[in-house]
Structure 1
Amino acid sequence: MDGKKTLPLSWNEQIKQSLWKLWNSFPEAPVVLIGVGNPLMGDDAAGLLVIQKLKTSLPAAKLIIPVDGGPAPENCSGLIRRLKPGLVFFIDAGDMGEIPGTVGVFAANKADGVTAFGHSLPLSVLGQYLEAEVGCHSFLQIIQPEYIDFDLPVSQTILATVDEICDAWMEAAAFAPKRPE
C-alpha cells in the first residue's frame, strides 16, 4: 500500500468498534464527521475532501452526518450541540511523524503528540469541550500529509487515502441505523 503503514489496531477497526459500542447502547445516536482544513494549503484539504465526497454518497437517512468545518471547526459547535451526537470525528491532516497517507484515530483527550495545522483552537480542546457540553465521545481521524504549503494541489498519496477513508465510512453507513423520523 505505497509504503503506508497502519498504526496499532487499525483506524478502520477503531471506528467500527466505536460505532458498534455507541449503536449497541444508543441506536438513535447520530455520529457527526467534521472535515477540517484549508483548501488552499495542499494536503491540508484532506478532511474537507472526505466530507465533500461523503455528502454526495452517504444516504441522508443514516445516522452518520458529514459537516464541513473548514479551517475553523469551532464555528460548527452550535450545530453539533443541536444534533446531540453520540460520537464526533474530526477528520484532518496532521503531523504524526508517520509516512504520508498514514491514518490514525485518537481519542480527543489522548491526542498528545499529534499536530494539526492552522487552527486557532486545537481539535483536542474542541473535542473535549463538546464531550463536556453534549456528553459525546470525540475522536481525531488524522491523515499524515505529504506536504502542506500555499497554493499546492493535494498529493496523489492523500487523494488515495481520502478514497480509502470514504470507503470505510460508506461501509460503516451500510450497518448504521436510520435516523428517527
Structure 2
Amino acid sequence: MANLLLCVGNIMMGDDGAGPLLAERCLQGMPANWTVVDGGAAPENDIGHIRDLRPDRLVIVDATEMGLAAGETRVIDAEAIAELFITTTHNLPLSFLIDQLRPDIPEITFIGIQPETVAFYYPVSAAVTQAVDRLYRRMAHWLPDGGYPRLMMTND
C-alpha cells in the first residue's frame, strides 16, 4: 500500500470534527493509491490496523490550535506536536501515536487545520469545512517526500 490518510478528531466537538469530516468526504471517492482510516477521538486504537496495512506514507489530519485564522492549514513538525497538544480532546497525545508508528512507516506527515470553535455540540465552522474540502480535492496531487506544498499550490 502506498498512502494512508488517518483522520483524527471528535465530530461532537465543533471544529475538532475536521478529521472525521475529511474521512466522510473520502467515502464519496478516495483518489487512487489512498486508503482512509477514521481514527476519531482515539486514533491510538488503530495502531495495529495501520501497521497491518503497511503504508509507505501516512498523512495524519487533525484540528490543531496554531494561532492562525480559522481554516488555515500547516504541516506540523513531529517534534512540535507534543508541545502543541498540551490541551487535547484525544485520549493520548498524537506524539505517542506517531512514535509508535515511526519504526514501521517511512514517511509520516501531520497536517493541522486551525479550528475556530472547539466545544460540545457545535457544528464544524464554514472556514474549517472549506479547508477540509480543499484538502479532499487536492489529495490526488500529493507527492511523496514533502508533497504538502504541492498539494496547497494545486488548482481546485
Query: TM-score of the superposition, structure 1-length normalised?
Result: 0.72
Distance change >3 Å, CA 135–CA 53, structure 1 → 2: closer
For the residue of structure 1 that corresponds to 2:27, the secondary structure is helix
Aligned residues: 142
Provide the rounded CA distance (Å) in 2 between the counterparts of 1:118 and 1:42: 11
Query: TM-score of the superposition, structure 2-length normalised?
Result: 0.83
For structure 2, the residue ranges without an aligned partner over 5 or more in a row are: 144-156
Alignment partner of 1:162 is 2:136: no
- Equivalent of residue 60 in structure 2, options 52, 65, 90: 90
Provide the rounded CA distance (Å) in 2 between the counterparts of 1:45 and 1:52: 11
Alignment partner of 1:123 is 2:98: no
For the residue of structure 1 that corresponds to 2:21, the secondary structure is helix
For structure 1, the residue ranges without an aligned partner over 5 or more in a row are: 1-28, 174-181
Cα deviation, residue 120, structure 1: 1.8
Provide the rounded CA distance (Å) in 2 between the counterparts of 1:130 and 1:102: 26
Query: Does 162-171 or 109-118 show the bigger shift?
Result: 109-118
Determine which structure has more spread, i.e. the larger CA radius of gyration. 1
Corresponding residue for 1:13?
Answer: none
1:1-181 equivalent positions in 2, closer than 5 A = 29-59=1-31, 62-111=32-81, 113-115=83-85, 117-132=88-103, 134-172=104-142
Identity of aligned residues (%): 35
Structure 1 residue identity aligned to 2:128? I
CA RMSD of aligned residues (A): 1.8
